[in-house]
Amino acid sequence: MNNWFTVKVKYTKQLENGTFKRVSEPYMLAAMTFTDAEARIYEELGALIRGEFTVVGIARTDVHDIFAYDDAETWYKCKVTYDKVDDEGEGDKKKTISQNYLVTAPNVKDAYIRVQESLSTLMIDFKITIVATSPIVEIFPYHEDDVATISKVITEIVDEISSENTVLDPEHLTQSKSAVFSASGSDEEESESNLVDELDDENE
């Protein structure tokens, strides 16, 4: 089973003005274990970064799905919440489900709109409670199978809340020009990921 990991690397970067500076940058990738994540980051960045670089931190990252658009390079973290009937509880007691998404967009407003549109075919009331810039430089999915369509992602979420008799309207499937990177992650409110805190982008 693949999970998302954030790997922070340190290297000497050449700036636009021609000077060199020692920086730390976070990258995110899908991997099976921490060891796998470290091996993959050396493989992926070996052709992108000139000179030597060092892995200074690896952290498991809770992200439900990632929407990658071709027209933007800045990543935004969006937290989405909705209520689900607790099947293990008594009566119609509901619990709040939290899911973290990453999306590329030109600005915060467009990030909000893109996540809202991607999930608009869900026949439930959901809220986008957080939209924040992420310091993530680049994301590496593990296999081609990790890239799904938005329609598939919506169907998976609908299955999770089937106890509410939620249905997907096929006439309104999103026709967005984006890719969705999927890997396992926790949806419970208690295990909400502090992605912004994990991905501290301070240069060291």
Of 79-83, 117-121, 148-152, 186-190, the least confident: 186-190
Q: What are the tens digits of pLDDT across the range 47-100? A: 888 888 999 999 999 998 899 999 999 999 999 998 887 766 565 678 888 999
- For residue 68, how many other CB atoms are within 10 A of its CB? 17
Q: Give the global pTM.
A: 0.69
- Cα–Cα distance measured from residue 153 to residue 82, given in angstroms and rounded to the nearest whole number: 16
Q: What are the tens digits of pLDDT across the range 135-185? A: 999 999 876 555 444 445 555 555 555 544 444 343 433 344 566 665 544
- Tally of helices (H runs) and strands (E runs) in the chain: 4, 10
- Domains of the chain (ranges plus CATH)? 1-61 (3.10.20), 62-192 (no CATH)
